[in-house]
Structure 1
Amino acid sequence: MVAAQNAYSLEFPHFGGGVDESTAITHLPLHTASAMSNMDYTEWPAVSVRAGSAKLSTTAMSANPVTGLFDVGFSGGTRALLAKCGTALYKWNTGTSAFDSVATGLTAGNVRFCVYKDTAIMFGPDAPKKSTDGTTWSALGGSPPTAKYCITHADRVFALNASGYESILYFSALEDAEDWTTTTGAGAAGSIPIDTNDGTVGTGLWELRGWGRLLAGKERALYLLRGTGPSDFTADYVTRRAGPVSQEAGVVTPGGEFYFAARDGIYRYSGYGAPEQIQQPVQATWDTLNKSYYSRIAAGHTNSGGVERVLFAIPTGSATVPDKVLVYYPRWNVWSVWSGIAPYLFATIQVGGVDYLAWGDDAGFVWKGLQGTQDGATDVAWSRETGVFPLGDRNVYHYLERVTPVFKVESAGTASVAYDTAASGSYGTASTVDLATEAPTKHLWAPFASGEDTRAHQFRVKVYGTAGPATLRGMTVQLRKGGV
């Protein structure tokens, strides 16, 4: 029997893990107190449904993974969007909106591109190739190594991980990408050993923009190239604690920070000190990583909509290709988790003069991301779940009357809200609304059936739906305090 009834409400100024006041009993840290799927931070501290994605072409290049993706601009304003798929290299045809094969008979496997003096260069399983237009390809001269990774730096081309010499960093002659044999003079070509006896191999090359520094990765270490030429080039370790698991697992931001996935987590290196491990807020998802497929982790970066995001696509559970994307927002130091997309590798591409976050998948398609409200023809399914909010004295019950999230509705879709008073993961009856028929801001509440027990010492709320986009701006929970 209820001895007393005192109505009150809890206001949540944003749909995060708790109220803003650290002294409040319901306060929980934003990054640990909630779970989300396919939510995007576009106007902090509100969360929005992430935008969709679309195939660049409706026809697959081949029924194989996309193992190289690169958008290069040549002098005169021409561009070439290149994609390696299976045993062929393709170039995007803007006239037919399809990929045309420009090189065949290649060895399957990942390739890496770089540009030097208006020439695109491709390294990978085959002997390096070059092109000045993206269509006609020929052998890169000067006896370069057949290495997995390449990059341009300090007026040279550098290459890493050649067969039998997996820990040797090679460099071309100064200002000549097709001279790898000259051994005398300040402009000579040469090589640098990188801990050749540590039992690991080179995993990639990156340049810290703005710093003018070249980074070389190994399986469990990260190295920094020092010196100005063959006489004093050295590779000094930054850390021997963790290294990028692959070339695709690292990305440099325009601001000069290097993010990479190692075997034990995700790291950020800002050009000084030791790399900082940052994946802890999404540790629960990271822990589901299929560790047999570390090499399939893919890293990407975008400033779409003026919001910086660093993305890591990972295979989870028994998946052998990425099925979850961990998204980090450096400006606010928060994370989200996306699903429903399967990036095999990321790239930034330009289509119609507009930059897009893009990715290749494991089925021969290239996708443009963060556009529209669907992934192909599939609605984006999203959810936002709060942490568990305690309600004070456990000798007194609190009765939930109404849960009211506040939406900014931007397009058609559905949204539902449900509550869990046992904090068991089992949610009660959901209230659903068709967003297309509602006003720009919708107040949605969870219903309580006649006779339903809404007593709680704690509670949490889940809001979920399809399509959108919609932005969750806040939440009000109405309760009454009583006793039994």
Structure 2
Amino acid sequence: MLKRLDFSEFLPDRPLSLAWAKNVYPMAEGYRPVRAFQNITPALAGILGGAAFVGSDGTSALLAGTATDLYRYSGSAWTSLLGSLTATIWRFDQFNDAVIGVNGGAPVKFDLIGGTASPLGGTPPVSDLVATVRQQVFLAGDPTQKNVVYISGFEDPEQWTPGTNQSLSVAFPNGGEIMGLAGGETGIIIQKRSVRRATYTGDVTVWQFDEISREIGCMAKGSVASAGQSVFFLSEQGFMACDRNSVIPIGREKVDRTFFNLYSRDDIQNIRAAIDPRSTTVCWSMPGTPGRIWCYDWTLSKWTVIEQDLSLVFSGFTANISIDALDAIYPGGIDTIPYSLDAAIFAGGNPLFLVATDLGVVGALTGDPMAVQFTINPIEVEPGRRVRIRGARVVSDAVQGVVAVDVRARAGDSPKVRNSGAIRDNGRVPLRGNGRHVGVEVDIPSHSWTYALGVDLEYEMEGER
């Protein structure tokens, strides 16, 4: 007899589900592989944040900051742009051809056309949050005014005198500390216990602030990321999405309990969020060796996990690399270059989801497919009956892999010694085991494959006692 065990939606919070889906992305049916980390830059020790942007002339710039410096990747090395800083974090946003960087101290500005950096002009507040909303820059994070958002002059990110050219500061009497900002045609201000929408009025008040969620807010500043109208963040109640009109849970009864069981509150303060600009996926990284990236595809409403040594993630564009820079990096000539010339490392302006390792090396997930693991929690193959497992077939175009079965009399029993077998040339995996509850683990090593849908179990029913 055959029974198909689908690689269904990854729901580790639920007992009868796919308990683990590692190093894959979801599809409408099944999963596809995540590719391995491929370095783009040399190490930048102590990296605290990064971003990449493209100017109006098409020039791209990959920026990153440490506790003391702001750097630009030149195509062969990191070049210091602005030193003698005191930074605790780095976040960036673009305003025309200027990149505004905040770091927990005085904000800075990078000129995309001129390639130079300087302190942000005017009298901007100390800040660690930044967003461009319409034609103005929003800042927040002043440690002496944690509930205040500061707004620049109209079309002038270096005008910070309240009452001049629509510049103002706004203190919110409830909701607590401001934990995140998101830009666009409207602004989103996320506090510890509130979410507000900022709408431009153009009248004497300039901006209108509407509370769209009360008692749901953000618990970690690094968890906020936005794409189009959507804003994502981690709250005390779990992962949330805001469409600028309401806030909805996206991890409840899916991954929230699992996530909170794995990490302490101190751990969660190290979370970093970023959008994969080539897909509809928001990613939250938890650093470590290995660390984990929790991925949510908002069009499919599905989650997966990537395991990768990392310190943080960010999104943007790769920097242009000139022929001269290639000569400097690979003095042995073109035959010594370990990548094809159309690889991500050379594609200036190419949108990428970027990962920084614990050593500060920045790269993208563009290499060979990573090793993958699926785990299906023990289920009753035939309700109320014991079964004898004879073999399995992985429903996939993967030609390599190992299938293991965990057979138990009761679902709550300790896992039995797993019986496992490799995929043979005919696609079959020989297995042996008997029990009432059967769990399955499938491990696919790094090789070329494109989809995995589930496992077909071969079994016989045993007699009743």
**The two structures share one fold, judged by TM-score above 0.5:** yes
Equivalent position amino acid for 1:241 in 2: E
Q: For 2:285, which of 313, 326, 330 is the aligned residue? A: 313
Structure 2 residue 401 is the aligned partner of structure 1 residue 415: yes
Partners of 1:114 and 1:329 in 2: CA distance: 23
Q: How much does 1:107 deviate?
A: 0.8
Task: Name the counterpart of 2:376.
Answer: 386
Task: Name the counterpart of 1:5.
Answer: none
Q: How does 1:416-431 map to 2 (within 5 A)?
A: 416-422=402-408, 423=411, 424-431=414-421
- TM-score, with normalisation over the residues of structure 2? 0.83
Task: Name the counterpart of 2:7.
Answer: 15
Q: How much does 1:279 deviate?
A: 4.2
Partners of 1:445 and 1:407 in 2: CA distance: 13
Task: Name the counterpart of 2:160.
Answer: 180
**What is the DSSP-based 3-state SS (H/G/I as helix, E as strand, rest coil) of the residue aligned with 2:419?**
coil
Partners of 2:271 and 2:142 in 1: CA distance: 22
Structure 2 residue 352 is the aligned partner of structure 1 residue 373: no
**What is the DSSP-based 3-state SS (H/G/I as helix, E as strand, rest coil) of the residue aligned with 1:296?**
coil
**What is the DSSP-based 3-state SS (H/G/I as helix, E as strand, rest coil) of the residue aligned with 2:128?**
strand
Q: How much does 1:138 deviate?
A: 2.0
Task: Name the counterpart of 1:281.
Answer: 254
Q: How much does 1:81 deviate?
A: 0.8
Q: How much does 1:42 deviate?
A: 5.2
Equivalent position amino acid for 1:356 in 2: L
Task: Name the counterpart of 1:159.
Answer: 139
Structure 2 residue 198 is the aligned partner of structure 1 residue 214: no
Task: Name the counterpart of 1:299.
Answer: 273
Preserved CA contact (<8 Å) 2:148 2:169: yes
Sequence identity, in percent? Answer: 20
Task: Name the counterpart of 1:23.
Answer: none
Preserved CA contact (<8 Å) 2:196 2:213: yes
Partners of 2:117 and 2:422 in 1: CA distance: 56
Deviation per residue, 1:70-94 (Å, 9 max, x gap):
2121222211110112311111112
Task: Name the counterpart of 2:243.
Answer: 270
Q: For 2:230, which of 249, 257, 280 is the aligned residue? A: 257
**What is the DSSP-based 3-state SS (H/G/I as helix, E as strand, rest coil) of the residue aligned with 2:57?**
helix
Preserved CA contact (<8 Å) 1:216 1:222: yes
- TM-score, with normalisation over the residues of structure 1? 0.80
Task: Name the counterpart of 2:302.
Answer: 334
Task: Name the counterpart of 2:429.
Answer: 445
Preserved CA contact (<8 Å) 1:17 1:30: no
Deviation per residue, 1:446-475 (Å, 9 max, x gap):
333xxxxx3322212111143234332332
Structure 2 residue 451 is the aligned partner of structure 1 residue 462: no
Task: Name the counterpart of 2:94.
Answer: 115
Task: Name the counterpart of 2:44.
Answer: 61
Partners of 1:245 and 1:47 in 2: CA distance: 31
Q: How much does 1:230 deviate?
A: 6.9
Preserved CA contact (<8 Å) 1:326 1:338: yes
**What is the DSSP-based 3-state SS (H/G/I as helix, E as strand, rest coil) of the residue aligned with 1:387?**
strand
Preserved CA contact (<8 Å) 2:15 2:377: no
Q: How much does 1:228 deviate?
A: 1.8
Task: Name the counterpart of 1:21.
Answer: none
**Compared CA separation, residues 363 and 190, structure 1 to 2 (3 A):** same
Structure 2 residue 73 is the aligned partner of structure 1 residue 92: yes
Q: For 1:360, which of 346, 356, 362 is the aligned residue? A: 356
Structure 2 residue 69 is the aligned partner of structure 1 residue 83: no
Deviation per residue, 1:167-193 (Å, 9 max, x gap):
111111212222212625xx3311111
Equivalent position amino acid for 2:281 in 1: R
Preserved CA contact (<8 Å) 1:416 1:431: yes
Preserved CA contact (<8 Å) 1:298 1:314: yes
Partners of 2:53 and 2:35 in 1: CA distance: 26
Structure 2 residue 381 is the aligned partner of structure 1 residue 400: no
**Compared CA separation, residues 175 and 322, structure 1 to 2 (3 A):** farther
Partners of 2:24 and 2:358 in 1: CA distance: 25
**Compared CA separation, residues 476 and 363, structure 1 to 2 (3 A):** same
Partners of 2:383 and 2:111 in 1: CA distance: 73
Task: Name the counterpart of 2:167.
Answer: 189
Partners of 2:246 and 2:181 in 1: CA distance: 19
Q: How much does 1:206 deviate?
A: 0.3
Corresponding residue pairs, total: 427
Equivalent position amino acid for 1:175 in 2: E
Task: Name the counterpart of 2:54.
Answer: 73
Preserved CA contact (<8 Å) 1:344 1:360: yes
Equivalent position amino acid for 2:303 in 1: W
Deviation per residue, 1:15-72 (Å, 9 max, x gap):
3379xxxxxxxxx999951122424235431223321112222x3222x1x2221212
Give every structure 1 segment of 4 or more consecutive aligned residues whose post-TM-superposition deviation is greater than 4 Å: 28-32
Task: Name the counterpart of 2:343.
Answer: none
**What is the DSSP-based 3-state SS (H/G/I as helix, E as strand, rest coil) of the residue aligned with 2:44?**
coil
Partners of 2:357 and 2:204 in 1: CA distance: 43
Q: How much does 1:417 deviate?
A: 0.5
RMSD, aligned CA: 2.8
**Compared CA separation, residues 163 and 29, structure 1 to 2 (3 A):** closer
Task: Name the counterpart of 1:25.
Answer: none
Equivalent position amino acid for 1:87 in 2: T
Task: Name the counterpart of 1:482.
Answer: 462
Preserved CA contact (<8 Å) 2:162 2:169: no
Deviation per residue, 1:236-272 (Å, 9 max, x gap):
3222322223443111123x21111123310011222
Equivalent position amino acid for 1:368 in 2: A
Partners of 2:89 and 2:118 in 1: CA distance: 19
Preserved CA contact (<8 Å) 1:248 1:345: no
**Compared CA separation, residues 68 and 17, structure 1 to 2 (3 A):** closer
Partners of 2:120 and 2:262 in 1: CA distance: 42
**What is the DSSP-based 3-state SS (H/G/I as helix, E as strand, rest coil) of the residue aligned with 2:247?**
coil
Preserved CA contact (<8 Å) 2:132 2:138: yes
Q: How much does 1:382 deviate?
A: 2.3
Structure 2 residue 37 is the aligned partner of structure 1 residue 50: no
Q: Which runs of 5+ in 2 are unaligned?
A: 320-346
Partners of 2:162 and 2:9 in 1: CA distance: 61
